[in-house]
Amino acid sequence: MIWIAAAAAAASVMAGQGLATIQCRVAAGQSLRDCVVLSETPQGANVGAFALKLAKGFHPQPGDRRIRDGKIVIRMKFKLP
CATH number at residue 47: 3.30.2420
pLDDT for position 26? 95
CA angle 68, 20, 33 (to 5 degrees): 45
What span, in angstroms and rounded, lies between the C-alpha atoms of 67 and 61? 10
The residue range of the domain holding 34 is 2-79
pLDDT for position 15? 62
| pLDDT of 81 over the 70 cut | no
pLDDT for position 80? 58
Q: pLDDT grade, residue 52 (50/70/90)?
A: very high
Burial zone of 17 (CB within 10 Å; 0-12 exposed, 13-18 middle, 19+ buried): middle
Tally the domains of the chain: 1
